[in-house]
Amino acid sequence: MGMYPHVNRIPTETGTNRRQILGRDLHDPKSMFCKAIGFVVIGSFACTLILLAIPRWDIAAYLALAIWAFARAYYFAFYVIERYVDPNYRFDGIVSAIRHLRKLRQDTFRNGPDRS
């Protein structure tokens, strides 16, 4: 059924589904590698433009720090939480991860910490 089973169930005005419009999940390793290279190229280009507009070492350091921090947050949201916090839950985006963490926190406050 794939990682986003709910996407197939949302019809569009033309009668096609979003999966057909947005494309399928990537399964081919070469396509995934090309997509990763694309992200690196886009990020590098954006950083280059920022540093050309404001060529200062402190701005370069802030950019490097922001990139590192967001990469770690992404890793936490999509690897650590799924592997260690709640192995039964699969996230489909940052908003889903935030909602799930809020729900876990509320459940912990209501029921006390899980001691199993």
Domain boundaries, the chain: 24-55, 56-116
**pLDDT greater than 50 at residue 101:** yes
> Residue 68 — pLDDT band, cuts 50, 70, 90?
very high
Out of 2-6, 65-69, 85-89, 105-109, which region has the weakest mean confidence (pLDDT)?
2-6
Q: What is the mean pLDDT of the chain?
A: 78
Residue 99 CA to chain centroid, in angstroms? 14
pTM exceeding 0.75 = no
- Element spanning 82, H or E: none
Tell me if 51 sits within 8 A of 63, measured CB to CB.
yes
The two tokens of residue 15 are 């009668």
